[in-house]
Amino acid sequence: MPPTLALLLTTCFVVFLFWRDLRERPRVTRALWIPLLWMLITESRSVSQWLGFWGTYNSPADLADGSPLDRLVFLSLEVVGLLVLVRRRVSWSTLLSRNVWLMIFLAYCGLSIVWSDFPFVALKRWIKSLGLPLMFMILATEPDPREALVRLIKRSAYVLVPFSILLIKYYPSLGREFSPWSGAAMNTGVTTNKNELGYVCLILGLLLFWHFVTTLRREKTPKRRKELFLTAGFLCMICWLLYMANSATSLMSLAVGVSIVMFLGLSFVNRRHTVSYLIAALVTLSYAELAFGVTDTLIAYLGRDSGLSGRVELWNELRSMVISPIIGAGFESFWLGTRAELLWAHHWWRPNQAHNGYLETYLNLGWIGVMLLLAWIASAFAKARATLLSDFDFGRLQLAVIATVLVYNYTEGALKGLHPLLFLLYIVAMEYPRARSSSAGNASRPGAETRPSRRTQAHKSSIAWRNHRLEPSEP
């Protein structure tokens, strides 16, 4: 097939999917396009990279300077999102009180700018990182937060998955790259490297699988059947992309997340004993590692060496370069200046992260930052365990995402910047409940004869982000 024809057919397919999505008249507002644009940019390439204005980093100084165009794009999305939240009269005090550990962690990140070697760069990055909770709040204040999340993931998949396949198969100059060391071809799709394509497949695959098993629990109707076929089709495409990406970390993390979703759905599983299951799993894995060395076996099975492609050597080197074990180098400041120049000179692949989320946090924020991060994750786990009893479907998604992020960050650094996995963690870990109103209740009941306008829903809807149950309805 000629590439031009393939591009035309792919574009028509994506347009059809969005037309079908909007034709269903979902209970979401136009403000959902803001986090959608945010996800499409962070899960593919920056605007300047797509336009060819930026993207080549020849020195650490290029990383520090960044792209003015990209800063303008992200700042614009944050400002527009903040205006939306102001119009929706968000209770900031409620947000702070329900997410204490996260707010303390973010405040400490802001405070660490004071002792950074590059305070202006750290300040810019910290302001940009505040876009993650802003995007979450837009989702949480939608008329139906659950449906808003599903629509966000589906619409992201509608764009990222088909065009990744298109670029890999018909536009290899954009969808593939070659290793500067071995010369081996690597598939990137709409992203810039194979690991990025891997975590895009991880995020979309986990969320769409959860949506698939959730849809299975609904009443059998023709719309339900069509939704299952569509979701299954995208899951097949994602599996193919994940195979083409050859990202072992993403594959293993996705397997963990899917296994948790499936395990918690088994009839004999007692939802009140999640902590017991977790302890049993940790004990079993620890025994298997000590007795049989399953880690080395698994690494070999995934086609990786025991040094994790140079990561172990890098970790040992980074631990010897720590500036302050207590407070770190400052928010997003370690990989700047002479430190980055030394590491780039020693490693041909020019690392710009520690390839371990916990070590990355330690380098930038010290032990204080690591402890605050773990406290936030622990509080998120406690909330997920409680949600599992009141809202089973969303509760098991929370637990799956938390476990997936913890596993992924062993060999990759996703707990920094605008990483999409960090945004996913924000979505399931943050909490913003609202009181129920009669208008929203009527709108959410199947068969209601009238429905408020989208603007009225945006301001007066009361469906809580968590601790609310959706009655059986069509996707």
pLDDT in tens, 208-220: 999 999 999 888 8
SS3 assignment for the chain = CCHHHHHHHHHHHHHHHHHHHHHCCCCCCHHHHHHHHHHHHHCCCCHHHHHCCCCCCCCHHHHHHCCHHHHHHHHHHHHHHHHHHHHCCCCHHHHHHHCHHHHHHHHHHHHHHHHCCCHHHHHHHHHHHCHHHHHHHHHHCCCCHHHHHHHHHHHHHHHHHHHHHHHHHHCHHHHEEECCCCCCEEECCCCCCHHHHHHHHHHHHHHHHHHHHHHHCCCCCHHHHHHHHHHHHHHHHHHHHHHHHCCHHHHHHHHHHHHHHHHHCCCCCCHHHHHHHHHHHHHHHHHHHHHHCHHHHHHHHCCCCCCCCCHHHHHHHHHCCCCCCCCCCCCCCCCCHHHHHHHHHHCCCCCCCCCCHHHHHHHHHHHHHHHHHHHHHHHHHHHHHHHHHHCHHHHHHHHHHHHHHHHHCCCCCCCCCCCHHHHHHHHHHCCCCCCCCHHHHHHHCCCCCCCCCHHHHHHHCCCCCCCCCCCCCCC
Residue 364 pLDDT exceeds 90 = yes
Say what percent of the chain tops pLDDT 90.
Answer: 50
Which residues on neighbouring strands pair with residue 178, listed in sequence order? 185
Residue 29, phi then psi, degrees to nearest 5: -105, 175
Highest mean pLDDT among 5-9, 294-298, 382-386: 5-9
Least confident of 118-122, 306-310, 344-348, 398-402: 306-310
- Please give the average per-residue pLDDT across 58-81, as a whole number: 83
Residue 433, phi then psi, degrees to nearest 5: -80, 155
CA dist list (Å): 321 to 201, 364, 408, 414: 34, 12, 24, 21
- Please give the average per-residue pLDDT across 161-184, as a whole number: 84
Residue 114 pLDDT exceeds 80 = yes
Mention every residue, 6+ apart, whose C-beta is less than 8 A from residue 463. 143, 144, 145, 146, 434, 436, 440, 444
Least confident of 319-333, 340-354, 402-416: 340-354
Give yes or no for a contact between 95 and 432, defined as CB atoms under 8 angstroms apart.
yes
Q: In angstroms, rounded to a whole number, what is the distance separating the alpha carbons of residues 453 and 25?
A: 12
Residue 440 pLDDT exceeds 90 = no
Give yes or no for a contact between 200 and 153, defined as CB atoms under 8 angstroms apart.
no
Shortest CA distance to 78 belongs to which of 40, 43, 129, 124?
129
Token look-up 């945004």 returns: 423
The total number of residues written for the chain in this structure? 475
Q: In angstroms, rounded to a whole number, what is the distance separating the alpha carbons of residues 364 and 180?
A: 29
Residue 173 pLDDT exceeds 60 = yes
pLDDT of 253-271, one tens digit each?
999 999 999 988 887 877 7
pTM, to two decimals: 0.85
Residue 178, phi then psi, degrees to nearest 5: -120, 140
Give yes or no for a contact between 168 and 175, defined as CB atoms under 8 angstroms apart.
yes
pLDDT of 141-168, one tens digit each?
999 999 999 999 999 999 999 999 999 9
Other C-beta atoms closer than 10 Å to the C-beta of 270 total: 8
Q: In angstroms, rounded to a whole number, what is the distance separating the alpha carbons of residues 101 and 110?
A: 14
pLDDT of residue 309: 62
Token look-up 């303390």 returns: 104
Residue 444 pLDDT exceeds 50 = no
Token look-up 């999640």 returns: 274
User: How many angstroms separate the first and last alpha carbons of the chain?
Assistant: 34
